[in-house]
């Protein structure tokens, strides 16, 4: 007599709420969630701050001229707003990773479109597409692991 083995997602993985706190730290998915959460908190905040100081790069050249022509501001002035938005996005990821992951993904989608409008920046757009995928993965993992202090330890954010 032969039997077939069927697996379902629920059969191979216990829900996050059923694991002990100690088990969570050894769970690769939980570790991935925290790596993405910290990364998508720190990177946007640092990049956002650098829009004001230009330590890493002259960010103004990463804004498509066609976009600048549509606004009454210079590329440099627009980058101040971009920096503020990135800082806020990083803070949102820290506090509400499920929403913040999608917020950063949407922001990255806008950056990708902007970069595709600038000849010679397609490699940067492709890199940002990889970041976009990571931000969506963070948002998905947050549905299993993120909690909010307002709704209790087992509530999902």
Q: What is the dihedral of CA 62, 106, 117, 54, to 10 degrees?
A: 0
Find the domain containing 99 and state its range.
26-145
How far is 128 from 150, CA to CA, in rounded Å? 33
How far is 147 from 54, CA to CA, in rounded Å? 36
Give, for 7, the enclosing helix (H) or strand (E).
none
- pLDDT exceeds 80 at position 103: yes
Report pLDDT for 15.
52
Backbone angles phi, psi at 127, to 5 degrees: -60, -45
Is 49 within the bounds of a domain?
yes
Residues 92 and 46 sit within 8 Å (Cβ to Cβ):
no
Nearest residue to 107 (alpha-carbon basis) of 44, 152, 60: 44
Q: Which of 10-24, 26-40, 126-140 has the lowest mean pLDDT?
A: 10-24
Q: What is the dihedral of CA 148, 149, 155, 157, to 10 degrees?
A: -10
Is 127 within the bounds of a domain?
yes
Is 154 within the bounds of a domain?
no
Is 6 within the bounds of a domain?
no
Q: Which of 16-20, 30-34, 135-139 has the lowest mean pLDDT?
A: 16-20
Is 14 within the bounds of a domain?
no
Q: What tokens were used for 67? A: 């976009």
- pLDDT exceeds 50 at position 155: no
Is 50 within the bounds of a domain?
yes
**Count of domains forming the chain:** 1
Is 138 within the bounds of a domain?
yes
Is 19 within the bounds of a domain?
no
How far is 128 from 13, CA to CA, in rounded Å? 31
pTM (2 decimals)?
0.79
């Amino acid at each position: 007599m032969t039997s077939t083995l069927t697996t379902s997602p629920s059969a191979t993985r216990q829900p996050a709420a059923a694991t002990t706190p100690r088990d969570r730290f050894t769970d690769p998915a939980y570790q991935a969630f925290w790596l993405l959460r910290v990364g998508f908190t720190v990177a946007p905040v640092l990049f956002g701050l650098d829009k004001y100081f230009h330590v890493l790069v002259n960010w103004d050249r990463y804004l498509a001229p066609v976009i600048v022509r549509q606004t009454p501001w210079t590329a440099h002035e627009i980058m101040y707003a971009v920096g503020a938005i990135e800082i806020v996005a990083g803070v949102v990821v820290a506090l509400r990773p499920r929403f913040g992951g999608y917020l950063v993904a949407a922001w990255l989608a806008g950056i990708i479109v902007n970069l595709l409008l600038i000849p010679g920046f397609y490699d940067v757009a492709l890199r940002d597409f990889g970041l976009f995928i990571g931000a969506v993965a963070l948002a998905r993992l947050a549905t299993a692991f993120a909690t909010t202090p307002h709704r209790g330890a087992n509530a999902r954010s």
